Amino acid sequence: MNKQKLKNKLFLYSGAIHIHSEYSDGTGNIDEITKAAKKAGLFWIIISDHNKMEIKEGIYNGVYVIVGEEISPQYNNHYLALNIKNEVKPSENPKTYIEAVKHQGGFGFVTHPDESDKRRNKAKPIKWLDKSINADGLEIWNWFSDWADNYDDTNILKIAYAYFFRHKLIKGPNAKTLIWWDDLNIKNTKIVPAIAGVDAHALKVTKYIIPIKIFPYEYCFKTLNNILILNNKLPDNFEEAKENILNSIKYGKNIIVNKMYSKSKNLPVFMIKNDIEQACCGESVNFTENTYLYINLFQKASIKILRNGEHFYSAISDQIKLKIEKFGKYRFEAKYKNNPWIYSNPILVK
């Protein structure tokens, strides 16, 4: 299972965000979705139907199910609202629903902000139009958007390729989204968190007569995971566990891993330590003379570390130990054999 206890007592829990059920344009019910999540080794999932919150939260088939809403105007400006009790209606001006979410004590993530204009298929890209807003957080990587951006349906061979080699179409977060995310982190003293979304629908696509479920839930759940880094075990009580999960996501205490390329059952470790304290993703640590950054991926990868959005260090390795000489927000990206694999949330050295 994807739970792992580290020496310093951290608990890691894999989960998936951005799932559609039969209540919007997905095909699965809660039993099917949670059975698929369990099979994929997930501990928790967040379901977010378009403009609806019909599913009842709780523990199903041993999986914690939290319900949010993907506030979805017809074109553009989709927003994943979390920790809200009542549905929020979409409107022309996204500031209206962002405020409505805040008013309920909730928070949100801009979803798939930069879908491509250069698609070679009929799916119209959905974007976030006004990047001057100070977003709570960004969905920096959306599996379905990434695939659809690179799906070429102009002939049957290309369609077959896109189905049989689905993962080959996945290129990683859009560069424009990463720039926006880094900018938000430069502008704000607090950490602006990132998540990855599977955007799972398990749609049946009928093209050239044969209907195929292009991305079954279980397949999706084995792709983009958000791994929570907690100091405690997740409580058995649903409400307490929900609070833990949402708080981690809200502050960026998660690391994004494309499980397709995880060869080890160990989950990645990223921390910055000085003599007296340590910080993981979404946390901060004071700068001292002895501040070190540690990464352990348990398999060799091409690792790039960024400080305040700028390239800081890179190496091809499974482990890194680096002395930190400056304040700032540090995050890393890792590619496995040139495939997009891991994106961490930042750690703040202050």
- For residue 79, the minimal CB distance to Zn ion (Å) is 9
Nearer to Zn ion, 9 or 124 (CB): 124
- For residue 331, the minimal CB distance to Zn ion (Å) is 25
**Rounded-to-10 torsion of CA 206, 210, 215, 216:** 120
- For residue 216, the minimal CB distance to Zn ion (Å) is 16
Strands 63-71 and 44-50: parallel
Residues in the interface with Zn ion (CB under 5 A) total 3
Answer yes or no: are the C-beta atoms of 269 and 333 closer than 8 Å: no
- For residue 114, the minimal CB distance to Zn ion (Å) is 12
- For residue 304, the minimal CB distance to Zn ion (Å) is 28
Listing DSSP states for 183-195 in one string gives HHHHH-SS---EE
Nearer to Zn ion, 70 or 149 (CB): 70
Interface of this chain with Zn ion, residues 62 to 81, rule: CB under 5 A: 70, 78
Nearer to Zn ion, 202 or 295 (CB): 202
Q: Which residue is nearest to Zn ion (CB)?
A: 78
Nearer to Zn ion, 220 or 255 (CB): 220
Helix (H, G, I), strand (E, B) or coil at 170: coil
Nearer to Zn ion, 70 or 136 (CB): 70
Distances (CA, A) of 133 to 88, 121, 179, 229, 313: 19, 30, 14, 28, 30
**Contact between 182 and Zn ion per CB under 5 A:** no
**Tokens 């369990």, residue located:** 38
Would you state the structure tokens that stand for residue 280, as one six-digit string?
């993981």
**Contact between 199 and Zn ion per CB under 5 A:** yes
- For residue 26, the minimal CB distance to Zn ion (Å) is 9
Measuring CA to CA, which residue among 339, 319, 318, 322 is closest to residue 330? 322
Nearer to Zn ion, 78 or 222 (CB): 78
Would you state the structure tokens that stand for residue 196, as one six-digit string?
């990855």
Nearer to Zn ion, 193 or 197 (CB): 197
Would you state the structure tokens that stand for residue 4, as one six-digit string?
């792992």
Answer yes or no: are the C-beta atoms of 330 and 297 closer than 8 Å: no
Distances (CA, A) of 90 to 110, 144, 260: 13, 22, 34
- For residue 25, the minimal CB distance to Zn ion (Å) is 8
**Contact between 115 and Zn ion per CB under 5 A:** no
Q: Is 214 left (phi over 0), alpha (psi -120 to 50) or beta?
A: alpha
Residue ranges in contact with Zn ion by CB under 5 A: 70, 78, 199
